[in-house]
A = this chain, B = another copy of it.
Amino acid sequence: MDEPVLLTGASGRVGEAILRHAGEDFAWRLFDREPVPRDRRPSRVAADDVFISDVTDTNALINAIEGCKAVIHLAGDPRPEAPWKSVLENNINGTQAVYEAAVNADVDRFIFASSNHAVGSYETNERTPAMYRSDDTYRLDGRELPRPSNLYGVSKATGEIIGRYYHDNHGIAVANVRIGNLTEGHPPIDYERGQAMWLSYRDCAHLFSRCIDAEYEFEIIYGISDNDRKYYSIAHAKETLGYNPQDNSAEWQGKERIVKKGE
């Protein structure tokens, strides 16, 4: 039996995408304050592998993380408009708690769900809406300093920095995935920004799978599909992680949805 991967926030939308398209590829421990719906649980997940708790509940977390080879940390308040008190506790404090448990349990790698909102303020009035369009060449690549567009984005940029500390000082490998606009089935409609940063469910699951399997030290990468117009580079994720996205929001533009084999 493989060593399991701890998936915090397993009941959320990113967890749904991962479990739907990569659920059978790994052994899992599922952790969330809300139960993971039964029909989303991979077949190998037993009742003992499911934890209904908060990541700041140290005892539950220690039990869940014991023996895991990796953590995918998705838990947190996902609302861009979340108030400070909530992101301070759920996102910042929660992330530090999971890192602390991970290094204490000698987990090898930590995959953190960061967000486009960590850099949302690069979308200035001068640059938008031009930067969302295919004749524009502006691009971020993950080496830029954070510029959050909201306090949720502050909490995600902080999570990246917490990871930098634990990587440098405790040796754990860290991948920060700045997730774009994750939607099921098709890209957002009539929303250029969301189309440029679209992440399909299957590309999401594939990218997180690569973060479980590939070799790296500390990475900040963008989690988007291979959209024709993108202002986030995915070159580094392709090169370092072997990310090979299948979807492209341009395929839906002005057309009926193109149904791909195997979907």
A: residues with CB less than 8 A from B are 84, 88, 92-93, 96, 100, 121, 143, 145-151, 153-154, 157-158, 161-162, 164-165, 168-169
Question: What residues of chain B lie closer than 8 Å to A149, measured between beta carbons?
Answer: 165, 168-169
Q: How far is the CA of A161 from the CA of B164 in the complex (A)?
A: 15
Among B92, B145, B148, point to the contact of A143 (Cβ < 8 A): B145
Q: Closest residue of chain B to A154, judged by CB?
A: B165
Interface of chain A, helix or strand or loop or mixed?
A: helix
Q: How far is the CA of A93 from the CA of B161 in the complex (A)?
A: 16
Question: What residues of chain B lie closer than 8 Å to A146, measured between beta carbons?
Answer: 161, 164
Question: What residues of chain B lie closer than 8 Å to A96, measured between beta carbons?
Answer: 84, 88, 151
Copies of this chain held together in the complex:
2
- The distance from the CB of A110 to the nearest CB of chain B, in whole angstroms, is 15
Q: How far is the CA of A127 from the CA of B84 in the complex (A)?
A: 38
Question: What residues of chain B lie closer than 8 Å to A93, measured between beta carbons?
Answer: 88
B165 touching A161, Cβ below 8 Å: no
Q: How far is the CA of A67 from the CA of B66 in the complex (A)?
A: 54
Question: What residues of chain B lie closer than 8 Å to A153, measured between beta carbons?
Answer: 165
B168 touching A121, Cβ below 8 Å: yes
CB-defined A-B contacts under 8 Å, sample of 19: A84-B100, A88-B88, A88-B93, A88-B96, A121-B164, A121-B165, A145-B164, A147-B168, A148-B164, A148-B165, A148-B168, A149-B165, A149-B168, A149-B169, A153-B165, A154-B158, A157-B158, A158-B161, A161-B161
Q: How far is the CA of A100 from the CA of B88 in the complex (A)?
A: 14
- The distance from the CB of A239 to the nearest CB of chain B, in whole angstroms, is 19
Of A100, A149, A154, A161, most buried by chain B (CB within 10 Å of CB) is A161
Q: How far is the CA of A92 from the CA of B151 in the complex (A)?
A: 12
Question: What residues of chain B lie closer than 8 Å to A121, measured between beta carbons?
Answer: 164-165, 168-169
In the complex with contacts A88-B88, A88-B92, A154-B147 CB distance below 8 A: no
Question: What residues of chain B lie closer than 8 Å to A158, measured between beta carbons?
Answer: 92, 154, 157-158, 161
- The distance from the CB of A183 to the nearest CB of chain B, in whole angstroms, is 26
- The distance from the CB of A178 to the nearest CB of chain B, in whole angstroms, is 13
Q: Closest residue of chain B to A148, judged by CB?
A: B165
Question: What residues of chain B lie closer than 8 Å to A162, measured between beta carbons?
Answer: 154
- The distance from the CB of A30 to the nearest CB of chain B, in whole angstroms, is 26
Q: How far is the CA of A157 from the CA of B165 in the complex (A)?
A: 11
